[in-house]
Structure 1
Amino acid sequence: GITGTWSPALNNTATTTYTFTPAVGQCAATATLTIRVNSPVVLTRINGPNTLCEREVIEFTANQSGGFWSSSDSNIATIDAASGLLRALSPGFVTLTYQISTPCLSVISRTIEIVDLPEVQLPQDLYLCLDNVTGQVISVVEVKTDLSPADYTFSWTLNGDPLTETSNSLLVQVPGIYQVTVTNLVTGCSSLARTEVKTSSLAVAIVSVGDDFDDRQQIVVQVTGGSGSYEYILNDGFVQDSNVFTNIYQGPYNVSVRDKFGCGTVSYSVFALNYPRFITPNGDGYNDYWSIEDPLNQIASDILIFDRYGKLLTTVAPNSVGWDGTFQGKPQVATDYWFTLFYIDQSGNKQEFKAHFALKR
């Protein structure tokens, strides 16, 4: 190869033209070479806050444009590569990097913190109780955050209008949508929570028993007043949403109508006028006598009992011990027996009723 020397000395800070001079005695000529030195872009700062709140969105910038951005953890924060728009996603530390690759690579980084928001929840399904006659509010409910005022501030609104109350809870006597803004005193991060306070009331109802002596007697509750949602209970039994009770037999019943939202229970007493379908006079203490219970005195006559051929066997007074299944001291055979009575129906009219029951041995 050709040997020689370069001059001037290499300078990597400025563009310079260098000359190559071949050694004496070689068949070579002098040559020149220009080396251009590009100065890198100087990145001095990333502009933006050191701390952000979860869900906050903000644009970061650098002192030079034309580069692109990246995030060290996209689970904590994402940043748009071109615009620098950052979205804070979850608490933690994340490093933001900005770099310009032309004419030379320049890189700058900065670590920021994402701070979690206050955790606030307001109770739901809150109801004020109203007087079912006047419609006036007769109760209060508490809307509370369960957060300490030593750590947070509180700002309340009702249906979008600001309230003066700044405590961590409210005693409410007005229905509507309540919203609270909770701000952490240390981080400055805020969260919103809302709840709706509704109204309900005790029921006003009419309880009616189906047709007297019906084989499939029912008790029906008709709510005629009140603004609540109600459930129904028969004789301290199971709670049901239906206002109809089936499989009703002779006897007294207590019907309770209960507001589902805590505004109270109203109870009604009714009596189902019906008759026993059989008698088992075997001396075991169960169904040994046949009679009809009538505490409301609807039955207007003695009850006449006949055999299947129409022969009068006995008369039984309502609410008495009843017939023991004998005629003139002799036990009667196991078969059907008929009875006739007069009674006052639920409309106040006198009616005759005939039916039969079974004697079982």
Structure 2
Amino acid sequence: MIFVSRSLWSVVFIMFFAFAKAQLGFCSGESGDIIFSEDFGAGTTNGPALPTTVTNYTYVNSAPEDGQYTISNNMGQLGSFWNRPDHTGNSNGRMLIVNAAFNAGIFYQTSIPGLCENTPYEFSAWVFNVYNPNSNACPGVGIPIQVRFQIWDATDTVLLADGTMNPRGGETNPTWIQYGLTFTSEPGQNECILKLINAGDGGCGNDLAIDDIQFRPCGDAINVVSNGSEETIVCEEDLPVSVTLDATTTTNVFSSAEYQWQSSTDNGANFTDIPGANGASHTTQLLNADTQFRVKIAEDAVNLSNSQCVNFSDIYTFEVDEVSTPVALDDSVTSCDGEEVELAVQPVNGVIFNWYDAPTAGNLLVSDQETFTSSTPGFYYVEARTTAANCISNNRVEIEIVAARAPDIPREEIFICSGETARLEVPVSPATYEWDNGAMTQAIEVDTAGTYECIVTTPEGCETIAVFEVIVTPVPEIQELRLIGEEELEIITVSQNPDFEYSIDGINFQESNHFDVNNLLEINAFVRNSRGCDTVTDNLFRVKVNLFFSPNEDGFNDRWSISGLENFPGSRIEIFDRYGKLLRVLNNPEVEGWNGTFNNEPLPSSDYWFKLYYADQEISGHFTLKR
């Protein structure tokens, strides 16, 4: 073994690094579709082994040693290997895992069919250093990996491209790195040979994984423009039009490019060649509809018919900017009581709307708005305008603001008696109704005091709220009949209420509870509420009847009389026994009484009846004589 000093090895390394870097590279133009790909499949088992025509390394099912390889989804074949997924990223994706031999040499070789003659291509592959320096299985970072990539012609006699990667020792944060070569296929050949060569030393380290070997055609990047723009947008009213398209390349991959223009009328799903359109520029026929154009470019005209041999430009779009008459959300909108309302049209992508006060010309009221707000009745007009080509709709849509008034419904108070129901009816029809209790009818019936509201909506859409106040009238209760002096009566109720009415004959009622009761022997008081729900009564005698007497000449209560008759001069009393026999008449009852005799004979203990007459009034009752 030959030992090289550190300084000499560094010089050799740097010189080799510079050489390798100069040889590797990717397509400087536009890479086409993949024509060859090897990702080594996927699966949970290892293998299968490669054909012996592809490699002279020995296949092992696991743990490859120097000069051996395996194909697996598990990178960690040895304890000193990193355990990382393949580059492709598919589930259980496999990769080629190689433990390089002691001697440099080819470890992978395969033919790549399906090439186009005299066409530039790009080769690429992803490489991973599988040695984990943290394992300390090798000194330092181990022996670096170094792969040399070669592309040979179909006869394996002409080297088309050659490049060697920089040496890579074991890494503490390893990643997949892509390497590439560009080459041009030979005239008359449609195949090449790929060779992957171990350019490093054998020993501890130099362990690698390969994945996603790919070949793509390489051509010039092409731009298609017309008047400097990558699309043309025209209004319908400007049709038909013709455009001139110019293809320019931004790279110099092809030495002499050949062109073929294509067009599509199905939004780019299918393209067809335009006969005779083979120059760097193309003037279209008169166009009336959306059309897409592209150009394909190749090194050799014979390759223009093969999609794997050409590069395609980006698609150039000729678009007819159609604009329709705006669609109003409502043909008319009602303004209730002068309120502001919003007019609106359906939004359309790429279209703005302008509002006018006339069907043509007129004054611009507001621009670039889908809505317009006003309270002024009348007609308003909306025009559509595209943002792409500023195309204007042929017609404007008309929307009207209609003036209307919401119904004026005064607040209503409804009095009911206890236990009764009240009918609440909205005095507006036709309309829709929404009561706060959920009812949807014009009228409802309630039996509970409170405030009831109904949202009333007219056919024009104007709303108002009808409010009803239901009041249950209280039942009066007489507390006292109070005489004020000798001629005035005050009727006192338990609660004072302005709805109470008062009477002393049950016929004539008044709001005042004071009455002149002069000359009334008996007072009958009546109280009711003003709604006539309930009437209560009470009575009061202005004279006091002695309910019993004992004529035993003891000086106490020896005579029966009615006190208070001095206020009723001319009154008269008749006294009867229980059978109706008249026993005595007192013509001056205010000064005389009855001693309990009839024809000067004492009458027995019993109940006796009386009638008191005064003017047109009569009071009757009974009292008791006790012996």
Q: Assess same fold via TM > 0.5.
A: no
Q: Computing the radius of gyration over CA atoms, which structure comes out larger, 1 or 2? A: 2
What TM-score results when the alignment is normalised by the length of structure 1? 0.45
What TM-score results when the alignment is normalised by the length of structure 2? 0.28
